[in-house]
Chain A
Amino acid sequence: MFEVRIPQECWDDDSEGAISTWFFDTGDAVEKGDVICEVMNEKVATEIEAPESGTLTIRTLAEAAVRKGDVIAMIETA
């Protein structure tokens, strides 16, 4: 089981961001490198890629606040 976290490189400070869009649903198959969601912090949008291939389970819904390092989804590898 792999955790998908908001990467530390996303933005500079400790402020909050939010997931603006999920590009997959819970239960979908994702491949390593797929852009699975977009995170917004102030004005900048960052795409988050799947770190591994497997089945996605979303933990944090769109528009919920997130901080760097937060777990936003899980990927179950086959």
Chain B
Amino acid sequence: MLWMYEMMVASRHFEDLIKPAYFEGKQPVFNMAKGPLPGEMHLSDGQEPCAVGVCAHLKSTDTVTATHRPHHIAIAKGVNLNDMASEIFGRANGLSGGRGGHMHLFDPRVNFCCSGIIAQGMGPAVGAAMAAKLRGTGDVAVAFIGEGAANQGAFHEALNLAAVWKAPVVFVIEDNAYGISVSKRQATAVDGNAERAVAYGMPGHFVPDNDPDEVFGIAGDAILRARDGGGPSLIEIETVRLEGHFMGDAEGYRPEGEKTSLKEKDPVTRYRARLEQVGEASNRLDQLEHAARSQVAAAFDHARQSAPPKPEDAFTTVFA
């Protein structure tokens, strides 16, 4: 439980440090091209329980594929914070030398990768799972997606294929209720995506209310099942997206008052309250928070002080 809390605090602090850095150079006119963090930025505030509850069960040799909203998952998976921060700041010592940026983080040391096309990380997760199966390593793969991705063709193909081949993969849906501006209700034919699992011959579980301990329990079962040769599972977690889809999103499509009531569901503060309830000492938690935040802050300093890539670096690593 403490590890999960530490990871949640770390990833939330990461996003909290990104926010002011992102707006540097983008005021008074918000021009996405400007500043030390150009381009889009998709923050994971509120979705931390999905990452920590699942990754708590994973080894560095297990594979995780993620999406355009990857920071919390990368951190929980153990991606090197310095290298990740450097990559997001586009520095030469970043994970891919500044070529990938925040949506395309690859860390083979812990078998983490992410990319930006919805649902397209699912096939590669099945692939990683099949590689583990064929080699007999006992490793598993987890694909993280959003609830919007469950309406994309690749979702259905990946689930079916994983089941047909009994791949040791777990599909995790972070249901934050919105695909940019379109609500889950508007876009999905069934009430919950966990229901869809039966159509693909695998167990489906729904975790309500963004509860890290609930996620931990259900993910643990699914991952164990996969490791034991039982095949794939689908988990859908009800979570919250506390920020906009991308930074700069005015979120005019949310009903009035929705954002303020969401903030009351902040999973990081809720989990701290729970830890205190079960007897964790306040000052122990304070220390833990301080340590986690310092590590993240150090990663940002590292990134800021690191040199940018040279233009000619753009031409290398296209081919091996």
Contact = CB atoms under 8 A, between A and B. Distances in A.
Contacts of A63: 29
A44 B30 CA distance: 9
B250 A18 contact: no
Interface string B16-30: 000000000001111
A18 B28 contact: yes
A15 interface: yes
B309 interface: no
A47 B312 CA distance: 43
Contacts of B30: 40, 42-43
A40 B28 contact: yes
Contacts of A42: 27, 30
A17 interface: yes
**Most chain B C-beta atoms within 10 Å of own C-beta, residue among A40, A42, A63:** A42
Interface residues of A, number: 13
Decide if the interface of chain B is mainly helix, strand, loop or mixed.
loop
A16 B26 CA distance: 12
B28 A43 contact: no
A20 interface: yes
B28 A41 contact: yes
A8 B50 CA distance: 42
**Most chain A C-beta atoms within 10 Å of own C-beta, residue among B28, B30, B248:** B28
A71 interface: no
Nearest to A17: B28
A43 B28 CA distance: 10
A36 to B, nearest CB: 17
B249 A18 contact: no
Contacts of B27: 16, 42
A40 B206 CA distance: 41
Interface in A28-69: 40-44, 63, 65-66
A20 B29 contact: yes
Nearest to A65: B28
A63 to B, nearest CB: 6
Contacts of B28: 15-18, 40-41, 65-66
Contacts of B244: 43
Contacts of B29: 17-18, 20, 40, 63
Contacts of B249: 43
Contacts of A66: 28
Interface in B197-254: 244, 248-250
A20 B28 CA distance: 10
Interface in B130-156: none
Nearest to A15: B28
A50 B164 CA distance: 65
A43 B26 CA distance: 10
A41 B27 CA distance: 8
Contacts of B250: 43-44
Nearest to B244: A43
A20 B29 CA distance: 7
Interface string A1-20: 00000000000000111101
19 contacts: A15-B28, A16-B27, A16-B28, A17-B28, A18-B28, A18-B29, A20-B29, A40-B28, A40-B29, A40-B30, A41-B28, A42-B30, A43-B244, A43-B248, A43-B249, A43-B250, A44-B250, A65-B28, A66-B28
Interface of A: 15-18, 20, 40-44, 63, 65-66
Interface of B: 27-30, 244, 248-250
Given A16-B28, A42-B30, 9 more contacts: A15-B28, A16-B27, A18-B28, A40-B29, A41-B28, A42-B27, A43-B30, A43-B250, A66-B28
